[in-house]
Amino acid sequence: MMDWILSGDYPRSRILTALLVAIFVGLGLGPFLFDGVVAFRTMGMICIFIIVVASYDLMLGYTHVVSFAHLMFFGFGAYGVAIALDTMGSGFTAIFVGLGASLAVSVITALLLGLLSLRVKAIFFALVTLAIAFSFMVLVNQLYHITGGEDGMRVAVPRELGPAFRMEHSGTGFALLNWLWGVVTNPLAVGEVTREALFDVRMNGQLLMYYVSFVLATGLFLFMLRLVNSPFGKVLMAIRENEFRAEALGYRTVFYRTAVVVVASAFATVAGVLFALVTRYITPGVTLDFELAVFVLLMCVIGGMGTLYGAVIGATVFLVAQTYLQDLLGVLSGWIAEVPLMQPAAALFSEERWLLWFGVLFVLSVYFFPAGIVGQLRAWAARRDAGAAGTKEQGGAAEAAGEQS
């Protein structure tokens, strides 16, 4: 059963398994475990970005195609559905029309990009996609009568998916983190802490939309897992290891490379549609910005390229950090400002500088853990297993395998 669901591609590390289960359960029961608007929004973003990053990993990790245009396809989806809802009125037909239309645009554009990659070398491709994605963003900014320009546009979601759609009963949630914190800090008043941890969950369209994205994220992720473990995925990896040899073996690498770009772009488009429906307001800044493309790259690399599970870990770690690292830094800079002689350094730790530390972490991780979190966890697990088996040689081999992945 599990073998079928995961396509035989297990996490291969106990810690990783635990993390993945925690993320799955956390997202699945999330609205009932974490209180507050920020937490709710973060969870929605994690679901959506798991799709974006996993599909990006299909290109980056499995084929070593570096593209900066992935967010453009995300934007196609987001703006496609937003424009459809705007012109056709809020309804599910509009959503499907928007999805269909933006998928069509994405597939055609991805095919053209694939053809372009025929003409130019890999390193050119990265730069060309960067420029093309940028020109699309400029276009969106300029065509303000359609897209709202820099101010963005409201997404008129159907009533059933918005906050106005309420069920009669409201659910009850249990704020897990608050409760744990309460139990630790105030162990005597467990009863009161427990009572305080209970909160109302509004059973509205937004919650419904969240679960739609959760289910879609899970489904698409498992589908991608299936894809990379299929013969198709094996060819992709063969191309990654040695394009020349794969070609010599008779695989039309151009076909495979184009196919992977098309598939990944289609997934990004779906994620874009979800993004528009979940956030209900889109601007070029939150869908197409160069910085966002870099973030997706960061999530993919930090999680672990070429593992797909890395996308789950990377997206979660990054988005949680983006939301909560700032708070942590704020506290830290508060402390540092107190210390005499250290005031000038406080600027380094101010809340807005979370990206500085993330950048440093990122560079260090590329040097020291090029396989990302997932690769590192797997390497440790493999080493431990080899140690248990008591054969030194296997350990070396497993380590080497871990480094390769």
Closest distance to another protein from the beta carbon of 318 (Å)? 13
277 vs 301, beta carbon nearer another protein: 301
d(CA 86, CA 64): 38
344 vs 390, beta carbon nearer another protein: 344
Closest distance to another protein from the beta carbon of 368 (Å)? 10
200 beta partners = 172
30 vs 375, beta carbon nearer another protein: 375
Name the residues that contact another protein, by CB under 8 A.
64, 66, 116, 119-124, 126-128, 130-132, 134-135, 138-139, 142-143, 290-291, 294, 297-298, 301, 347-348, 352-353, 355-356, 358-360, 362-363, 366-367, 370
Closest distance to another protein from the beta carbon of 271 (Å)? 21
297 in Cβ contact with 56 (< 8 Å): yes
87 vs 242, beta carbon nearer another protein: 242
5 vs 122, beta carbon nearer another protein: 122
Q: Which two tokens stand for residue 88?
A: 């056709």
d(CA 193, CA 206): 28
21 vs 345, beta carbon nearer another protein: 345
d(CA 163, CA 165): 5
212 vs 348, beta carbon nearer another protein: 348
Q: Which two tokens stand for residue 156?
A: 């008129």
Closest distance to another protein from the beta carbon of 269 (Å)? 21
Q: Which two tokens stand for residue 179?
A: 């409760």
109 vs 213, beta carbon nearer another protein: 109
d(CA 404, CA 237): 12
Closest distance to another protein from the beta carbon of 118 (Å)? 9
150 vs 192, beta carbon nearer another protein: 150
d(CA 312, CA 342): 38
Could you give the C-alpha distances from 367 to 66, 297, 309, in angstroms and in order?
Answer: 18, 16, 21
Q: Is 347 helix (H, G, I), strand (E, B) or coil?
A: helix
d(CA 77, CA 95): 10
| Element of type H or E holding 47 | helix 37-63
Closest distance to another protein from the beta carbon of 337 (Å)? 14
Q: Which two tokens stand for residue 230?
A: 């299929």
Closest CA to 52 of 220, 219, 290, 256: 220
139 vs 401, beta carbon nearer another protein: 139
Q: Is 43 exposed, middle or buried (0-12, 13-18, 19+ CB in 10 A)?
A: buried
Q: Which two tokens stand for residue 59?
A: 């290109």
Closest distance to another protein from the beta carbon of 142 (Å)? 4
DSSP sequence for 103-167: HHHHHHHHHHHHHHHHHS-HHHHHHHHHHHHHHHHHHHHH-HHHH-GGG-EE----GGGSTT-B-
Could you give the C-alpha distances from 241 to 58, 63, 404, in angstroms and in order?
Answer: 14, 9, 10
Closest distance to another protein from the beta carbon of 322 (Å)? 13
Closest distance to another protein from the beta carbon of 357 (Å)? 9
Closest distance to another protein from the beta carbon of 353 (Å)? 6
